[in-house]
Amino acid sequence: MEEIRRKREEISEEDVLAEVEIWKYVFGFVEMGVIKCAIDLGIADLIQAQGKPMTLPELLVATHECSLSKLYRLMRFLVHRNIFKEVSTSDGVKSYDLTPISRLLVKHGERSMAAFLLLESSPVMLAPWHAFSGCVPESGKPAFEAAHGVDVWGYASGDPEHSELINEAMACDARLVVPAILEDCPSLFDGVQTVVDVGGGNGTTLGMLVKAYPWLKGTNFDLPHVASVAPKIDNVEHVGGDFFVNIPKADAAFVMWSLHDWGDEECINILRKCKEAIPKDGGKVIIVEAVIDEVEEHEFKDVRYVLDMVMMAHTSAGKERTQEDWTNILRESGFSRHTIYPIRAIQAVIVAWP
């Protein structure tokens, strides 16, 4: 007993903190799983629709067939994580209300991130993490292919439900990023009459841009199985194709969160096709991607590093890039100059000219 006590006394405060910290990684999947459960149960949607905090019995009735004790434990965890908050009604009854985080979980909310979390927590996207260690060796197989036998795009083309979930998740990001672009780069489309969104998914991003800049005419360009089911949007034409082969002509090519899915050589090929699609005089390519800064701190720095690991797990050669990486890729793609504009989002805006 004395030997055990002596060894415990020799443990530094730093080691004690490490013992606390390591549990976050041991059970790192729990938060995702619990929040997915809250989305599946529609808890944020129910409180939003009620227009006021809801008591546990009210949530129990509204969620149908839940266990009272399990629902209580679920809400206790979510309150502890500040996903929801406890409030008291005028007669002192404990109720649950939305926080800024849970407002992002309202499925059809203006800034909803629910579909993105449902995508990343889906069995399809979780499976590659079990093969992640195998993709790190030089001769290793990409994790997604190891798990599913095809790459993420091949899988999506054969699974319309998963393809729709990917597009809904990208639309979630658009609803957060486009307002940041409009605020921090308001003159981005000055002098531009036509724009092609390269890899634009279901057209959410382009729809927001043409609404903000009414003079714009947009072409939403994505794979045929994506473009063919995209919803009708005023001033937007959906076109299916392959951006490695040809990109529709426009004054500006807009590429958001597509280049990070690919390795450097593929990125260079895509950007060369973008360059071919725009006028030599006055044309430009607008890239919206993360720019990793390994020195300076930033509120989204941790998310950018996490996304880099997601690219490693879910794509064959995709990655997040540093400023130097982007400079090299744009130079190899034949652009004469570029400027990086920070915005309050995970991504930055990179404008490149022929």
Ranges in the chain annotated CATH 1.10.10.10: 13-103
256-268 tens-digit pLDDT: 999 999 999 999 9
> How many whole angstroms separate alpha carbon 202 and alpha carbon 252?
19
Structure-token pair, residue 296: 């300076």
Q: How many CA atoms lie within 13 A of 267 on its CB side?
A: 26
2-52 tens-digit pLDDT: 665 666 666 778 888 898 899 999 999 999 999 999 999 999 999 999 999
Strand-pair category, 217-222 with 194-198: parallel
List the one residue out of 187, 25, 46 whose CA is nearest residue 107: 46
204-258 tens-digit pLDDT: 999 999 999 999 999 999 999 999 999 999 999 999 999 999 999 999 999 999 9
Yes or no: say if 255 and 288 are a contact pair by the CB < 8 Å rule: yes
**Cα-trace Rg, the chain:** 23
Structure-token pair, residue 188: 């981005």
> How many whole angstroms separate alpha carbon 109 and alpha carbon 189?
27
H helix and E strand count, the chain? 17, 12
Yes or no: say if 199 and 253 are a contact pair by the CB < 8 Å rule: no
Q: Which fold has domain 13-103?
A: Arc Repressor Mutant, subunit A (1.10.10)
- With residue 213 as reference, give the H or E element that holds it: none
> How many whole angstroms separate alpha carbon 166 and alpha carbon 300?
22
Specify the range with the lowest mean pLDDT, choosing from 13-27, 107-121, 234-248, 303-317.
13-27
Predicted confidence at residue 93, as pLDDT, reads 87
Q: Is the pLDDT of residue 180 over 70?
A: yes
> How many whole angstroms separate alpha carbon 132 and alpha carbon 143?
5
Predicted confidence at residue 9, as pLDDT, reads 62
> How many whole angstroms separate alpha carbon 140 and alpha carbon 259?
22
Bridge partners (DSSP) listed for residue 322: 292
User: What type of residue sits at position 342?
Assistant: P
> Strand, coil or helix: what is 314?
helix
129-143 tens-digit pLDDT: 999 999 999 999 999
Ranges in the chain annotated CATH 3.40.50.150: 187-354
Predicted confidence at residue 13, as pLDDT, reads 81
Neighbours of 333 (CB within 10 A): 20
CATH class of residue range 187-354: alpha beta
Show the CA angle centred on residue 84, arms to residues 80 and 87, nearest 5°: 95
> How many whole angstroms separate alpha carbon 118 and alpha carbon 39?
8
Yes or no: say if 74 and 38 are a contact pair by the CB < 8 Å rule: yes
Average pLDDT, the chain: 94
Q: Which residue has the tokens 């090929």?
A: 269
Structure-token pair, residue 240: 């299916």
List the catalytic residues.
Answer: 260
